[in-house]
Structure 1
Amino acid sequence: MSIRKNIENAEKKILIPYAAFSSKSKGRKNKEEFDEVRTCFMVDRDRIIHSKSFRRLKHKTQVYIKTSGDHYRTRLTHTLEVAQIAKTIGKAIGLNEDLIEAISLGHDIGHVAFAHSGEEVLNSLLPNGFAHNKNSIRVLTKIEKQGKGLNLTNEVLNGILYHSGFSYSKKSIKACTLEGQIVKYSDKIAYVNHDIDDSIRAGMINQENIPNQLLNILGKTHSTRVDTLVRDCIYTTLNNIENNVKEVALSEGIENALRELRSFMFRNVYKGTILKEERDKAKFVLYQVFEHYYKYPDNMPKLYKDIVDEEGLYQGVADYISGMSDDYCLFLFNKIYVPKIVIY
């Protein structure tokens, strides 16, 4: 019996019935031989973490563009915090940690340079709009490995696709697995709290700015708030499962407090006036780089020129732009538009 089979058998003994079992995966678009050692979700985790697009996350903005400090989150450190929170919740409930980790590591692969400012630019330029969760799927299935994609399992792709949004609507589509639903909540728990931490460090807000009623519910420190949310998600979800409800959730009071804290961050930081000048600069840079390659698509690498031929100019340029790190986008902007010293 292979090591993979031993791991799959161990899952059947350890995980709850509602978990996503590796041996029962819906599989991949292109069938492959099974790995002798790793389950399908372990393989997916490894493919994502060794991908070029994952490595570029270290140079993509989370909130603060071109900071001089070493302690501000990047898109990569955000991703690692999401994975840590999600695995803690998943293990406590009895779900598949390998699937949770794969979804967590891949959930923001499709983010543009300069955080949501970059996403807003592409959304305004593209005829069909732009959303980073859908772009994550495109990167993983179409762009990686020079257009071959990583051939990930259905469960991982589904969790990545439906990790975004925080709508009150009961009609909003949830991930098909509890593991995917956990990543969605963990993403919000992570970024709301670590962005508060970064914003206090940056002097953008202070503890006294945060509504006191929210601190009384969630906690007055970063670690306390995360602990409150993680514990509540575990116990609320376990209660749902005991009542045969297959749904990850927070209790009503805790979820409302998280939503209000998130709204506070949107008003005061994400969409606030202090960062507006830097956001506008970032949008200007990205817009100009997009315009250049839209006019001169032959200047792009072959992979993206092939996409232009197959799927049109907008898609090819969007794929090239969306994969850029902040630093590379700024490098190209300077190369294209900033005059050079040519006479000494």
Structure 2
Amino acid sequence: MVTRAELEAREGATLAPYATLSQDTRGREYPEAESATRTAFQKDRDRVLHTTAFRRLEAKTQVFLNASGDHYRTRLTHTLEVQQVARSVALTLGLNETLAETIALAHDLGHPPFGHAGERVLNDLMEVHGGFDHNAQARRIVTLLEFRRPDVPGLNLTLDTLDGLNKHDRADLGRPSLEAQVVDAADALAYTAHDLDDGLRSGLITPDQLATLPLWQALTQRAELRSTTITDSERRSLHRELLGWLITDLSVTSDASIRASGITGAPDARAQPRNLITYSDSMRELLRDTATFLQQNLYRHWRVEMQVEQATRVLTTLFHALVGRPSMLPPLYQRWATERGTHRAVCDYIAGMTDRYALDIHASLTPPGSATPWPR
């Protein structure tokens, strides 16, 4: 058997000097004995994987509603793609791939049903009650809402993993670890690549629309694709080519950035004035243009806008109905309503719903043929 001490020794011998080592973890809020055969970050990863919140990602929207088709990305498949990219880049750079993997698996736990549309709706509904942000909700889930033991709130993850989930309010925290920076970059990489792929698969965006996009022009040249129409096989090949291109650019540029910084340890990375994990200037420009294209042509497509309207009606109805009658909440959330405030308890309950569950609960409150009970 390989012991935890041996695994930690391997990290020390093989990882880069600026990687976050398991043996140097900043510990947990509630002290506990560590495993004899797993590192602290391996324990964190396993705890995230076994949460209810992680399982629910399977039925939460990425761009297309979960019921739109079996082949579109869900919040879970997006998370797994981020995990794969983050692990690959971390390995290439000599960083702690287990920590990067753990942060990637946890980074979207806080997403509500119906994707970013659901997040905007909940933030508006909670405007005078603290707002709603999926990054903050992910941390709330792992520190409070999920629990392993009755005497300890949350999952009691290491402070290193929790820090990786802090995307905002970092004034007193410094930069995130290099592993957390890798996850942030991998997140943008993954959704750019797969949203293009899903948009093409769905027909909401076409090769003709993409013809003037600089990233698409460069990509088709790299793949030696000259046709103005593409087959499913060519679309898949382009997706693979794009992933490889983005991952290589991110890895090569970040390696040069780290070397140029002169850092010699993990604390040095957090003290830098800017993130060291980055793309080349030319790639950043291509990604900015692509993000604008996707915003205008996919995320605001009339069919997607209809889904946004559906999300708005469903979540607004549920929120006001449950706030007005908190006795409809499950017992645990009724207790939390008393302890933490009704609005926040209702928000936590709704944010944890899958698309299907939110639609089912909404249907039970609005029988067929009745008008949607908009709040007055």
- TM norm structure 2: 0.84
| Rounded Cα–Cα distance in structure 2 between residues aligned with 1:251 and 1:161 | 25
Code of the residue aligned with 2:278 in structure 1: it is: A
Question: Which of 303, 311, 327 is equivalent to 2:332?
Answer: 303
Code of the residue aligned with 2:161 in structure 1: it is: V
Go from structure 1 to structure 2 and tell me whether the alpha carbon gap of 1:130 and 1:110 turns closer, same or farther (over 3 Å shift): same
Contact preservation (8 Å) 1:123, 1:131 = yes
Which position in structure 1 is the counterpart of 2:159? 154
| Rounded Cα–Cα distance in structure 1 between residues aligned with 2:139 and 2:254 | 27
Contact preservation (8 Å) 1:136, 1:161 = no
Q: Matches of residues 65-104 of structure 1 in structure 2 within 5 Å?
A: 65-104=65-104
Which position in structure 2 is the counterpart of 1:129? 131
Contact preservation (8 Å) 1:85, 1:190 = yes
Asked if 1:60 is matched to 2:65, the reply is: no
Code of the residue aligned with 1:270 in structure 2: it is: Y
Code of the residue aligned with 1:290 in structure 2: it is: F
How far the C-alpha of 1:184 sits from its partner, in A, is 0.3
Code of the residue aligned with 1:242 in structure 2: it is: R
Asked if 1:199 is matched to 2:204, the reply is: no
Go from structure 1 to structure 2 and tell me whether the alpha carbon gap of 1:331 and 1:174 turns closer, same or farther (over 3 Å shift): farther
Code of the residue aligned with 1:95 in structure 2: it is: L
Contact preservation (8 Å) 2:66, 2:74 = no
Question: Which of 278, 283, 305 is equivalent to 1:276?
Answer: 305
Which position in structure 2 is the counterpart of 1:34? 34
Which position in structure 2 is the counterpart of 1:213? 214
Contact preservation (8 Å) 1:174, 1:181 = no
How far the C-alpha of 1:46 sits from its partner, in A, is 0.2
Which position in structure 1 is the counterpart of 2:18? 18
| Rounded Cα–Cα distance in structure 1 between residues aligned with 2:28 and 2:91 | 25
Question: Which of 257, 260, 282 is equivalent to 2:289?
Answer: 260
Moved more, 80-89 or 264-273: 264-273
How far the C-alpha of 1:140 sits from its partner, in A, is 1.0
| Rounded Cα–Cα distance in structure 1 between residues aligned with 2:155 and 2:175 | 20
| Rounded Cα–Cα distance in structure 1 between residues aligned with 2:303 and 2:345 | 34
Contact preservation (8 Å) 2:213, 2:289 = no
Contact preservation (8 Å) 2:213, 2:290 = no
How far the C-alpha of 1:288 sits from its partner, in A, is 0.5
Code of the residue aligned with 1:151 in structure 2: it is: N
Code of the residue aligned with 1:34 in structure 2: it is: E
Which position in structure 1 is the counterpart of 2:146? 144
* Structure 1: tracts of 5 or more residues without a match: 165-170
| Rounded Cα–Cα distance in structure 2 between residues aligned with 1:189 and 1:25 | 28
How big is each residue's C-alpha offset from its partner over 1:60-116, in whole Å with a ceiling of 9 and x where there is no partner?
A: 011101444221110000000000011110000001111011101111000000111
Asked if 1:290 is matched to 2:295, the reply is: no
- TM norm structure 1: 0.92
Go from structure 1 to structure 2 and tell me whether the alpha carbon gap of 1:99 and 1:198 turns closer, same or farther (over 3 Å shift): same
How big is each residue's C-alpha offset from its partner over 1:257-292, in whole Å with a ceiling of 9 and x where there is no partner?
A: 112111111111113333212210121011101111
| Rounded Cα–Cα distance in structure 1 between residues aligned with 2:289 and 2:166 | 25
How far the C-alpha of 1:307 sits from its partner, in A, is 1.9
| Rounded Cα–Cα distance in structure 2 between residues aligned with 1:134 and 1:257 | 29
Q: Matches of residues 216-235 of structure 1 in structure 2 within 5 Å?
A: 216-218=217-219, 221-235=238-252
Contact preservation (8 Å) 1:218, 1:257 = no
| Rounded Cα–Cα distance in structure 1 between residues aligned with 2:21 and 2:294 | 37
| Rounded Cα–Cα distance in structure 2 between residues aligned with 1:20 and 1:139 | 24
Which position in structure 1 is the counterpart of 2:257? 240
How far the C-alpha of 1:12 sits from its partner, in A, is 0.4
How big is each residue's C-alpha offset from its partner over 1:166-216, in whole Å with a ceiling of 9 and x where there is no partner?
A: xxxxx9x87521000000000010011101111111110012212342224
Which position in structure 2 is the counterpart of 1:167? none
Asked if 1:338 is matched to 2:367, the reply is: yes
| Rounded Cα–Cα distance in structure 2 between residues aligned with 1:212 and 1:236 | 23
**Runs of 4+ that moved beyond 3 A:** 216-220
Q: Helix, strand or coil for the counterpart of 2:279?
A: coil
How big is each residue's C-alpha offset from its partner over 1:293-336, in whole Å with a ceiling of 9 and x where there is no partner?
A: 11111211222222222221111110001000001111111112
Code of the residue aligned with 1:309 in structure 2: it is: T
Which position in structure 1 is the counterpart of 2:184? 184
Q: Percent identity?
A: 38
| Rounded Cα–Cα distance in structure 1 between residues aligned with 2:349 and 2:22 | 34
| Rounded Cα–Cα distance in structure 2 between residues aligned with 1:141 and 1:109 | 12
Number of residues of Structure 1 aligned to a counterpart in Structure 2: 334
Contact preservation (8 Å) 2:41, 2:98 = yes
* Structure 2: tracts of 5 or more residues without a match: 224-237, 264-268, 270-275, 370-376
Code of the residue aligned with 2:109 in structure 1: it is: I
Code of the residue aligned with 1:313 in structure 2: it is: T
Code of the residue aligned with 1:285 in structure 2: it is: V
How big is each residue's C-alpha offset from its partner over 1:142-188, in whole Å with a ceiling of 9 and x where there is no partner?
A: 100288211111111121222x8xxxxxx9x8752100000000001
How far the C-alpha of 1:339 sits from its partner, in A, is 5.1
Question: Which of 346, 357, 373 is equivalent to 1:317?
Answer: 346
Contact preservation (8 Å) 2:60, 2:66 = no
